[in-house]
Amino acid sequence: MSKASTLERLDAEFAREVEENQLRLRGSLRTTYDFIVCGSGSSGAVVARRLAENSDVSVLLIEAGGPDSAPEVEMAAAWPLNLGSARDWGFTALPNPHLNGRVIPMSMGKVLGGGSSINVMLWARGHKSDWDYFAAAAGDPAWSYDRVLDIYREIENWQGTPDPARRGRDGLLYITPPTEPNPVATAMLDAATELGIPIFDDVNGSMMEGPGGAGYMNLRINNGRRQSIFRSYTFPLMSQPNITVLPGTLVTRVLIERGAAIGVECLIAGRRHSFKASKEVILSLGAIHTPKVLMQSGVGDAETLASLGIPIVQHLPGVGANFQDHIMVTSCIWEYPEPVAPHDNGGEATIFAKSAPELDSPDIQLLQIQFPVATPELAGRYTIPAGSWGIFPALLRPHSVGRLRLTGTKPEDPILIDSQILSEPGDLTALRRCVDLAREVGNAQGLRRFVKREVMPRALTSAAMDDFIRDGVSTIWHQSCTAKMGQDDMSVVDGRLKVYGVNRLRIADASVMPRVPLANTMAPSVIIGEQASRAIAREHQL
Ligand SMILES: Cc1cc2nc3c(=O)[nH]c(=O)nc-3n(C[C@H](O)[C@H](O)[C@H](O)COP(=O)(O)OP(=O)(O)OC[C@H]3O[C@@H](n4cnc5c(N)ncnc54)[C@H](O)[C@@H]3O)c2cc1C
């Protein structure tokens, strides 16, 4: 038997063991666990694993979504098929006057693994300045770049050019540059060189300490298959008796008594259940539902909660405020003379740049996409050939900040996303520069052999270009910052991610980011999970 088929057989045996164990554990649910982790996404999956590594600790991991065994999850190239599926919460933002009144989708993962099971699998660690900003906001050097670098080195299994000062080789997380990059990705780097943009061997190495550059993406893909955070962290421990993973279960409320979280209330197949936590409850429901559940539990702005008839437990006006996201223009497109099939996830090359020379770090990014994608508004205006490729011009440092609004007390009452995207005029200015840069790159000599013609936007008047941007903006799905870590009145958690004024309640997910980092948000969410786990282990002497 070949090595590959032996490994496949062992994997199948282990998967059966996990299934049997979890069926057993779910068949005899306890009323009390030491820790209850709510949400199995990029942060929650990490916390659940780290706690369950200690066999004396019992962990209940609750997830609203279902299994992650669908081929659309597993096969890297199939990621777009998850959008709008049952594995997507299907959030939309409110109609936005700055986007010509458009209602834009705000997909988030509703499945074991959360975003890490439906996302584009890019591993981007964040800029040095982001982590130093987090440390300053928290007043805690544990969040500084140097300290976070230690965690990254510990958890990564980096397959690219060795960089022992920054990249680890022995960790849980398989991370690789594209093994056979699409020639159109290589050509984008040639075009960048032509424009004087420096090329880096690793976009997560020294490049993330300086003013920008270009390179191949880091991918969470092995042999064409997605490596979700849940599969890397939680799944390998699921044959143990001390971790119960409960999918299909909606957390509706944190139960709080005398200023401390004592458990959670949830719905299983429409029926109400509650579970107690003898040590802590950790909310990892993502940046939309963590604030929702907090508010429905009485933790939020007192006046807002009173207007909805929710008894106030803790006045924290920052819950649901400070909504941030990355946006991109979907998209600049060129027709291939001869179409080239996408490789990996269809997006392997990137450029980070500054929209203005005086900035101290990059604030715009170009993401290549090896097949055509357009918003319905732009698709209605241009004829886009199937054999095309594109560049997403993206804004990394948005100044527009939105807010979430609760509409009622019931679990089915939606939370409204008032994104405020492009409400700050400076964001439009930066995006204009970003579209210009995308066109300079796409029309450069280095990419000429992949260009029959520029499909869109082509040269436009400035008013028409603004209209193109407003009609083309979509989210990069980096919703964050809605229960921020910090020390001011709008902060919701402290540097150890404990909710102010509520004992035994912690938040570990993208909501705690004080600002959205210069990166796709999965890797920073993993760091948040690691930081929460380390703080818990210290405080509970685990
Ligand atoms: C389509 C898409 C593409 C993306 N591409 C990338 C990329 O390529 N690289 C990158 O770095 N980032 C990417 N992201 C973003 C990244 O996946 C997220 O930032 C990251 O997963 C956030 O982690 P989290 O733990 O905060 O939340 P999530 O990963 O969203 O996890 C939250 C979990 O909580 C569950 N949950 C929510 N409410 C409840 C409830 N009431 N009860 C029980 N469970 C609940 C959810 O179902 C989910 O599993 C993408 C996201 C999407 C949606």
Residue nearest to atom 4 of ligand 1 (CA): 119
CB distance 214 to ligand 1 below 6 Å: no
Query: Is 478 assigned a catalytic role?
Result: yes
- Which of 60, 119, 252 best tests ligand 1's pocket when mutated (most atoms within 8 Å of CB)? 119
CB distance 520 to ligand 1 below 6 Å: yes
Which two tokens mark 241? 């008796």
Pick the CATH number of 73-112+173-227+325-475 from 3.40.50.740, 3.30.560.10, 3.40.50.720, 2.60.40.10: 3.30.560.10
* Cα–Cα distance measured from residue 371 to residue 387, given in angstroms and rounded to the nearest whole number: 7
Cβ–Cβ < 8 Å for 124, 500 = no
Give the pLDDT score at 2.
Answer: 79
Instruction: Tell me the C-alpha to C-alpha distance, in Å, between residue 330 and each of 368, 369, 392, 394.
Output: 11, 10, 6, 9
Give the pLDDT score at 83.
Answer: 97
* CA of residue 285 to ligand 1 center, whole Å: 8
Residue 67: how many CB atoms within 10 A of its CB?
15
Give the pLDDT score at 107.
Answer: 98
* CA of residue 389 to ligand 1 center, whole Å: 27
Give the pLDDT score at 315.
Answer: 98
- Which of 61, 108, 284, 527 best tests ligand 1's pocket when mutated (most atoms within 8 Å of CB)? 108
Cβ–Cβ < 8 Å for 318, 489 = yes
**pLDDT, tens only, 59-100:** 999 999 999 999 999 999 999 999 999 999 999 999 999 999
Cβ–Cβ < 8 Å for 78, 71 = yes
| Residue keyed to tokens 């997507």 | 88
In the set 98, 289, 478, 540, the catalytic residue is: 478
Residue nearest to atom 23 of ligand 1 (CA): 42
Residue nearest to atom 48 of ligand 1 (CA): 114
Which two tokens mark 532? 């929460």
- Which of 525, 528, 530, 533 best tests ligand 1's pocket when mutated (most atoms within 8 Å of CB)? 525
Give the pLDDT score at 9.
Answer: 87
Give the pLDDT score at 6.
Answer: 85
Q: Which helix (H) or strand (E) holds 214?
A: strand 213-216
Task: Give every residue of the chain whose pLDDT is below 50, as ranges.
Answer: none
CB distance 231 to ligand 1 below 6 Å: no
Atom of ligand 1 nearest to the CA of 524: 11
Strand partners, 365: 352, 394
CB distance 115 to ligand 1 below 6 Å: yes
CATH fold for the domain made of 16-69+229-323+481-539: FAD/NAD(P)-binding domain (3.50.50)
Residue 31: how many CB atoms within 10 A of its CB?
9
- Which of 228, 266, 285 best tests ligand 1's pocket when mutated (most atoms within 8 Å of CB)? 285
Residue nearest to atom 20 of ligand 1 (CA): 522
Domains 16-69+229-323+481-539 and 73-112+173-227+325-475 are alike in CATH topology: no
Give the pLDDT score at 38.
Answer: 99
Give the pLDDT score at 1.
Answer: 64
Cβ–Cβ < 8 Å for 38, 60 = no
Residue nearest to atom 2 of ligand 1 (CA): 119
* CA of residue 110 to ligand 1 center, whole Å: 8
Amino acid, res. 85: S
CB distance 361 to ligand 1 below 6 Å: no
**pLDDT, tens only, 157-216:** 999 999 999 999 999 999 999 999 999 999 999 999 999 999 999 999 999 999 999 999
| Residue keyed to tokens 């964040």 | 126
Cβ–Cβ < 8 Å for 324, 516 = yes
CA angle 134, 41, 487 (to 5 degrees): 25
CB distance 108 to ligand 1 below 6 Å: yes
* CA of residue 480 to ligand 1 center, whole Å: 10
Amino acid, res. 92: T
Cβ–Cβ < 8 Å for 475, 104 = yes
Give the pLDDT score at 494.
Answer: 98
Atom of ligand 1 nearest to the CA of 519: 11
Domain boundaries defined on the chain: 16-69+229-323+481-539, 73-112+173-227+325-475
Cβ–Cβ < 8 Å for 195, 206 = no
